[in-house]
């Protein structure tokens, strides 16, 4: 029997190991709570292992469920609220740093006209996202009907193969924290500064290190604000650094 053609884009599971571990360890704790009831005595302190395992398990499963909601639904809402921080004209040259399977890249491309262009750069790590490949991103681009406005480049954020002042808008979601070495991470921020046009805008979204991003960009002369994304739809909560490069 012939396999049905894929007609819907698939934006993958962010940090699949994290999602797996939340449910796995939550289930282990709940199972332990089901068989352990006797308290233990440490001096004058009485500890209830049952309660400890029960509430730890409940917390982990709830966190896993909230994260799954973000992966399946929330990140689409966050993308839209994040992109709304820019007043789109339609002719922008856009760069998505760490584009993954193209969710943010495609969202930006849909806001462009024939004069605009959206470029995605990534090393496509499968640790950071399940099934993360350039081919998967290209497939989503084609399914979303924006292939004429999008291109993909395989390169690291700390060494971008673009000229100075190439882009009007730079976007990035849950990417820069994956560069664990601070010096290398700041090289990536320096590249964002370099390839952004004077007067251009950067939108950098993450669940941590956003104060570091904001401090670096302020040091480069940017006008910087920190905004919240879609509050109900993101877990963990995400902040967006909204930064504008000064004019020459």
pLDDT class for 40, splitting at 50, 70, 90?
Answer: low
pLDDT on residue 120? 97
What average pLDDT score do residues 100-120 get? 96
Q: Domain 86-244 is of which CATH architecture?
A: 3-Layer(aba) Sandwich (3.40)
Q: State the greatest distance between any 2 C-alpha atoms of the chain, in Å, as a whole number.
A: 74
pLDDT on residue 2? 47
> What's the pTM value of the predicted model, to 2 decimals?
0.85
Question: If you search the block for the tokens 């396999």, which residue do you land on?
Answer: 3
**CB–CB of 239/206 below 8 Å?**
yes
Which tens digits make up the pLDDT trace of 74-98?
A: 888 899 999 999 999 999 999 999 9
What are the structural domain ranges in the chain?
Answer: 16-78, 86-244
What average pLDDT score do residues 105-134 get? 90
**Residue 157, exposed/middle/buried by CB under 10 A (0-12, 13-18, 19+)?**
buried
pLDDT on residue 231? 67
Instruction: Report the residue count for the chain.
Output: 248
Which tens digits make up the pLDDT trace of 208-218?
A: 999 999 999 99
Task: Name the token pair of 87.
Answer: 């007043």
**CB–CB of 198/245 below 8 Å?**
yes
């Amino acid at each position: 029997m012939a396999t049905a053609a894929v007609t819907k884009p698939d934006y993958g599971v962010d940090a699949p190991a994290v999602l797996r571990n939340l449910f796995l360890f939550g289930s282990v704790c709940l199972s332990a709570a089901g068989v352990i009831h006797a308290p233990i005595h440490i001096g004058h302190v009485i500890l209830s292992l049952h309660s400890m395992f029960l509430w730890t398990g409940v917390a982990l499963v709830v966190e896993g469920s909230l994260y799954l909601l973000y992966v399946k639904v929330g990140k689409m809402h966050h993308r839209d609220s994040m992109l709304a921080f820019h007043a789109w004209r339609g002719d922008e040259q856009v760069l998505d740093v760490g584009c993954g399977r193209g969710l943010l890249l495609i969202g930006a491309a849909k806001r462009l006209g024939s004069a605009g262009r959206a470029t995605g750069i990534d090393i496509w790590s499968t640790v950071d996202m399940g099934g993360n490949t350039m081919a998967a991103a290209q497939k989503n681009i084609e399914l979303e009907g924006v292939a004429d406005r999008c291109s993909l480049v395989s390169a690291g954020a700390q060494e971008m193969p673009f000229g100075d002042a190439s882009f009007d808008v730079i976007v990035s979601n849950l990417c820069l924290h994956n560069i664990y070495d601070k010096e290398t991470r700041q090289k990536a921020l320096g590249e964002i500064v370099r390839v952004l046009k004077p007067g251009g805008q950067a939108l950098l979204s993450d669940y941590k290190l956003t104060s570091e991003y904001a401090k670096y960009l302020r040091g480069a002369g940017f006008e910087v604000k920190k905004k919240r994304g879609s509050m109900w739809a993101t877990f963990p909560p995400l902040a967006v650094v909204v930064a504008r490069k000064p004019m020459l």
